[in-house]
Structures are given as structure tokens and as C-alpha cells.
Chains A and B, each alone.
Chain A
């Protein structure tokens, strides 16, 4: 018979580390999907996911069971991803000179006929990745949670541990920062 989540957690807390495995199996897809929003290389994604689960095991005592385990785990995941972004702030100042041909085409199309530059194109996805990589860790986290994952300010406050007003301020700054990066991108391309 399959054990419930609460039973598995209780077993882990009693010292049965093997009971942790079904939890890892059940929630790893969500952890990996979240980690892939912040890290590009699979090795980095793997490292983040591993770190999340090791932290989850160490801090399981602090899980009080008032909210679902998944919410607690996602908070841990988002915070680990944020730590990863802060530790890997690279390439933020480099120029946008090395566009691939599809990326160039997509931007050209956006300039000449914006309505034909569809959001579903691979080039658009790659360009978004480039833009997000140039944002500060705070801005990237807020843009991802608020604009891409469509979460509410309250949810973001719970996930990040920031206050609601702080999330609002950081969201305002993040949008401005993203516009600045986009302006730099177009300047690098057309000037």
C-alpha cells in the first residue's frame, strides 16, 4: 500500500532515510522545472535540484505540516535558485553582438512588421533567455515569478520571504531594468 505524504515525512523524521526517496520521486519534476527557469546548463540544473533536496532533508524538522509539503518545498526551491543566481552573476555586462541568424531574423521582423514576429518562435525563446541572463538576480527572480509564471505579489512574498511592498518595489525596478537591457540590445544591434 502506498504511504501518504504525512506518513513518509513522519518516517523520515523518525530516522528512516529511505522514506525520503518517494518524496524525491514525486516532487522532482516541479523542482527541475523551476530550476530550469534560472539555470541554462543541465549540470547547473542538476546541482540546484540536488541542493534543494539535501536542504529539504536537513530542514525537514522545520516543516510543521500546516501548509502542503509542496508549498514548503517550492519556497526552498525558489530560495535556492535565487542563491544560485547571486553566486553566478556572469556575462551581465557583455554586449549583444553574437546573435544567431534566427534571432537576427526575428528581431528584424519585429522592427519591420511586429505582428508577424510570433511569440512561439524558437528565436524569441532564445532571445528571452539572453535578456534574462543580463538582469540582476533580484530582477530576474521577480520577472520570472510575476510576469512569466503569473504569480501574485502575495505569493511571491511568501516564496521569497520578502514583504509585499518590497516585492512591488522590486517588480517596478525589475521591469525598468528589463527595458534598459532591451534598449541596450537594440542599440548593440542597430548602432
Chain B
């Protein structure tokens, strides 16, 4: 069989039978309704989607930090205890007033 000739005939058949261009009834209404629905829901949907996506990594990070803090308790010495230093600095003036009296 002559494949090249068959190819030529097939392509000629495709050219001779172009597809129809009919449009389903009220197609344009459907498209505009879809666009309107998207516009109405989009801002909220974007936030919801973003927050849901962020929820899982946030929970994972919280769990990891919790586990790390639980299994590695740091022995705080008086010298490097930040909270104690902060408190001393903040209340220094009050302490001095107490001593003067």
C-alpha cells in the first residue's frame, strides 16, 4: 500500500470536512456567570486557601520547637539568665530607692 498517497488522501479528507462552529445555547451567559462567581468568592477563597496551607507547616514547627525545648532543657545560670538581667536593670532604680531608705 502506498502510505504517502494514503496520507495525502487522509489530509485531504480532513480539509474537506471542517468541524462545525455551533455554540451551545446561552454559552456566553454561563461564562459570565462563572466569571461573576469567581470574582465574588476570590478574595475570601484566597485568604482561606493561604491560611489552610500555612496551618500545617506552623503546627509542624510548633511541635518541633516544643520537642526541642522539652528534650534539651538548658541549665540557666545566674550570669547568663536574660530574664533575670532584664528584671534587675528594670528595677534597678527601685532597688536603689529601697537601699537609701
Considering only residues 2-51 of chain A, those with a C-beta below 8 Å from chain B are 17-18, 20-22, 24-25, 28-30, 32-33, 36-37, 46, 49-50
Does B78 sit within 8 A of A, measured CB to CB? no
Could you tell me how many residues of chain B have their Cβ less than 8 Å away from some Cβ of chain A? 34
Q: Is the interface of B mostly helix, strand, loop or mixed?
A: helix
Does A165 sit within 8 A of B, measured CB to CB? no
Query: What residues on A are CB-neighbors of B38 within 8 Å?
Result: 54
Does A157 sit within 8 A of B, measured CB to CB? no
Q: Mark A110-133, 1 if CB is under 8 A from B, else 0.
A: 110010010111001101100110
Complex alpha-carbon distance, A128 and B23, angstroms: 24
Contact (A125, B23) CB under 8 Å given A21-B28, A50-B31, A186-B1: no
Q: Mark B3-24, 1 if CB is under 8 A from A, else 0.
A: 1111101111111111111111
Does A153 sit within 8 A of B, measured CB to CB? no
Contact (A33, B21) CB under 8 Å given A20-B32, A24-B28, A49-B27: yes
Complex alpha-carbon distance, A120 and B60, angstroms: 65
Query: What residues on A are CB-neighbors of B39 within 8 Å?
Result: 17
Does B53 sit within 8 A of A, measured CB to CB? no
Query: What residues on B are CB-neighbors of A67 within 8 Å?
Result: none
Nearest-CB residue, chain A, relative to B5: A114
Nearest-CB residue, chain A, relative to B18: A33
- Whether A32 contacts B21 by the Cβ 8 Å rule is yes
Query: What residues on A are CB-neighbors of B27 within 8 Å?
Result: 24, 28, 46, 49
Stretch of A72-80, A82-90, A93-101, A175-183 lying at the B interface: A175-183
Query: What residues on A are CB-neighbors of B4 within 8 Å?
Result: 179
Count class of interface residues, chain A: 35 or more
Q: Mark B38-56, 1 if CB is under 8 A from A, else 0.
A: 1100000000000000000
Complex alpha-carbon distance, A22 and B29, angstroms: 10
Complex alpha-carbon distance, A166 and B78, angstroms: 73
Does B34 sit within 8 A of A, measured CB to CB? yes
- Whether B7 contacts A182 by the Cβ 8 Å rule is yes
Nearest-CB residue, chain A, relative to B2: A114
A residues neighboring B (CB under 8 Å): 17-18, 20-22, 24-25, 28-30, 32-33, 36-37, 46, 49-50, 53-54, 57, 110-111, 114, 117, 119-121, 124-125, 127-128, 131-132, 143, 147-148, 150, 175, 178-179, 182-183, 186, 190
User: Apart from A24-B31, A28-B27, A128-B11, what are 10 other A-B pairs with CB-CB below 8 Å?
Assistant: A20-B35, A36-B19, A49-B23, A50-B30, A50-B34, A114-B2, A119-B13, A132-B14, A182-B6, A182-B10
B residues neighboring A (CB under 8 Å): 1-7, 9-24, 27-32, 34-36, 38-39
